[in-house]
């Protein structure tokens, strides 16, 4: 009953209508930033109460001693974090959270909930099962005995597993020292339903609590001109390795500062404000630089429903966000200085041998909208065969517009006496009508005979 009561309370808390008049908004923002100033020293693996309303569920129950600006609680057992929309009473939710990514040393991830936000933990601790060892076994660094050994378990040992390989023949666990270990499923008894475990590979990240989460934010337009839009502001150290983050099943590697929004029944967006963010959805990926936005159409289940779209965004879209609460300063002007076209990503590219030209799509962003007049393709490497570069005049825009979307890359290939050649790597640049040339982008395709 406690769990049900806490959940209903949180839903009602989130559903409160917004009624702030525009002339009040600057005062609300100033008050909120002053109130949340103490959260700039938030401890790692803690969340700080910045400005009401903010609520959390830990072990599926509400926390009573988390109601005053500066209050901090540990992330252990956290299920849900929510901050509320702006109200005529002067409320406008802010919370600051610092997460230590698994296995990444001292590279804490800072996240700030801005306004109407609901985050549900989807870290690797959410779906786990106990297993009992029935024959002595070796733990490996990957789901195969060809990987290096990282430990052993003995008959009778009981450990927690959090994922399985695609064949379900191997189970993933975390060792006491934080290393990842894989064990043969045949050597253990699984105490539960194995099909409940998520599928993972050797490169699938382990996500700490709130390093992966499902997200719902308020309407994409702010309720008043003096407040930023609702969403989650994310920052990782710009001089460190990219930090893996997963939002609504979308995998991102963040190095710098980004803003994420996921309005109910509308497209999810990621805006890169500083540094870069690699975004991967199914077979599509894009490495976004500052000033670029990725847009993900969503299905009725709030999961990505189609390939992403990329485009530039404007300073006015993000300039009111609470950057002063982040540990590292952000140069907002720098995000909008580059007007040269940029090729930033691609999807799976499979070209049929000797079938004429195929078109593979390349994601591009072109802030000033000048026409793209040329695409230069230089050969880099291939497992076999002889390949030559090419130049294409006026490459077509397949989706989007002159400022962002996908360009058509026209390709022909032959596998000769082989059945498959790939990946075939290329360095691609594009030039616009003003003579601006993009940085080289490394693209690839596979050549197949059927």
Q: Which position has the higher pLDDT, 181 or 222?
A: 181
Give the per-residue pLDDT at 1: 40
Between 180 and 2, whose confidence is greater? Answer: 180
For residue 271, what pLDDT is reported? Answer: 98
Q: For residues 363 and 63, which has the higher predicted lDDT (pLDDT)?
A: 363
Give the per-residue pLDDT at 107: 83
pTM metric for this prediction: 0.90
129-196 has which CATH code? 2.30.30.40
Structure tokens that stand for 52 in this block: 């009401």
User: With bands split at pLDDT 50, 70 and 90, how would you rate the model's confidence at 15?
Assistant: very low
Going by C-alpha positions, the residue among 361, 358, 357, 354 that lies closest to residue 419 is: 354
What is the domain partition of the chain in residue ranges? 2-121+207-336, 129-196, 342-448
- What pLDDT shows up at residue 306? 54
**Average pLDDT, whole number, for the chain?**
90
Structure-model confidence comparison of residues 275 and 265, the more confident one: 275
Question: Domain 2-121+207-336 carries which CATH code?
Answer: 2.60.120.1440
Q: Using pLDDT thresholds of 50, 70 and 90, give the confidence band for residue 222.
A: low
Amino acid 450: pLDDT: 79
Per-residue pLDDT, averaged over 350-358, amounts to: 92
Q: Would you state the pLDDT for residue 283?
A: 87
Q: Each residue of 376-431: pLDDT tens digit? A: 999 999 999 999 999 999 999 999 999 999 999 999 999 999 999 999 999 999 99
The per-residue pLDDT for 22 is: 45
Query: Of the candidates 125, 76, 117, 77, which has an alpha carbon nearest to the alpha carbon of residue 96?
Result: 117
Convert the pLDDT of each residue in 29-88 to its tens digit.
999 999 999 999 999 999 999 999 999 998 877 776 899 999 999 999 899 999 999 887
Cβ partners under 8 Å of residue 363, min gap 6: 284, 286, 308, 310, 343, 344, 345, 346, 405, 406
pLDDT, residue 88, reads 79
What average pLDDT does this structure show over 319-345?
A: 94
DSSP assignments along 381-421, one per residue: E-SSS----EEEESPPEEEEETTEEEEEEEE----TT-SEE
Rounded distance, CA 119 to CA 126, Å? 14
**CB neighbour class for 301 (10 Å; exposed up to 12, middle 13-18, buried from 19):** exposed
CA distance 254 to 244: 6
**What pLDDT does residue 190 have?**
94
Look at domain 342-448 and name its CATH class.
Answer: mainly beta
What confidence tier does 349 reach under pLDDT thresholds 50, 70, 90? very high
Rounded Cα gap, residues 293 and 270, in angstroms: 6
pLDDT in tens, 132-143: 999 999 999 999
Q: Within a 10 A sphere around the Cβ of 193, how many other Cβ atoms?
A: 8
Give how far the C-alpha of residue 129 lies from the chain's centroid of Cα atoms, to the nearest Å.
26
Kindly tell me the sign of the dihedral angle through the C-alpha atoms of 401, 405, 408, 409.
positive
Q: Quick one: pLDDT band at residue 223, thresholds 50, 70, 90?
A: low
- The number of helix segments (H) and strand segments (E) in the chain equals 2, 32
């Amino acid at each position: 009953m406690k769990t049900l009561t806490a959940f209903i309370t949180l839903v009602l808390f989130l559903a409160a209508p917004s009624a702030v008049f525009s002339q009040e908004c600057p005062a609300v923002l100033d008050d909120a930033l002053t109130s949340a100033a103490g959260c700039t020293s938030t401890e790692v693996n803690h969340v700080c109460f910045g400005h009401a309303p903010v609520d959390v569920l830990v072990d599926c129950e509400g926390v009573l001693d988390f109601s005053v600006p500066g209050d901090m609680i540990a992330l252990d057992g956290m299920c849900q974090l929510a901050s509320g929309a702006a109200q005529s009473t002067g409320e406008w939710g802010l919370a600051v959270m610092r997460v230590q990514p698994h296995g990444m040393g001292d590279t804490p991830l800072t996240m700030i909930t801005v306004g109407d936000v609901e985050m549900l933990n989807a870290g690797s601790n959410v779906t786990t099962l106990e297993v009992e060892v029935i024959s002595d076994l070796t733990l490996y660094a990957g789901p195969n005995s060809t990987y290096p050994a990282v430990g052993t378990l003995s008959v009778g040992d009981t450990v927690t597993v959090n994922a399985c390989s695609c064949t379900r023949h191997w189970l993933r666990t975390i060792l006491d020292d934080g290393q990842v270990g894989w064990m043969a499923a045949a050597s253990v008894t699984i105490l539960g339903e194995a099909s409940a475990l998520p599928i993972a590979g050797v490169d699938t990240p382990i996500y700490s609590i709130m390093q992966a989460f499902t997200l719902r934010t308020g309407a994409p337009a702010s309720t008043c001109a003096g407040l930023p839009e609702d969403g989650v502001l994310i920052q990782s150290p710009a001089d460190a390795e990219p930090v893996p983050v997963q939002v609504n099943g979308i995998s991102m590697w963040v190095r710098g500062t980004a803003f994420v929004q996921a309005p109910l029944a509308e497209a999810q967006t990621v805006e890169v404000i500083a540094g870069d963010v690699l975004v991967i959805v199914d077979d599509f990926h894009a490495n976004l630089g500052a000033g670029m936005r990725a847009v993900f159409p969503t299905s009725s289940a709030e999961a990505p429903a189609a390939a992403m779209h990329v485009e530039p965004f404007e300073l006015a879209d993000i300039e009111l966000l609470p950057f002063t609460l982040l540990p590292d300063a952000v140069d907002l002007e720098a995000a909008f200085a580059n007007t040269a076209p940029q090729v930033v990503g691609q999807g799976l590219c499979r070209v049929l041998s000797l079938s004429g030209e195929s078109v593979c799509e390349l994601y591009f962003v072109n802030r000033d909208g000048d026409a793209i007049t040329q695409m230069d393709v230089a050969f880099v490497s291939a497992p076999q065969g002889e390949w030559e570069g090419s130049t294409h005049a006026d490459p077509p825009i397949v989706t989007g517009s002159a400022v962002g979307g996908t360009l058509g890359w026209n390709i022909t290939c032959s596998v000769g006496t082989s059945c498959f050649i790939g990946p075939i790597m290329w360095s691609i640049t594009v030039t616009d009508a003003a003579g601006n040339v993009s940085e080289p982008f490394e693209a690839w395709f596979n050549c197949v005979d059927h």
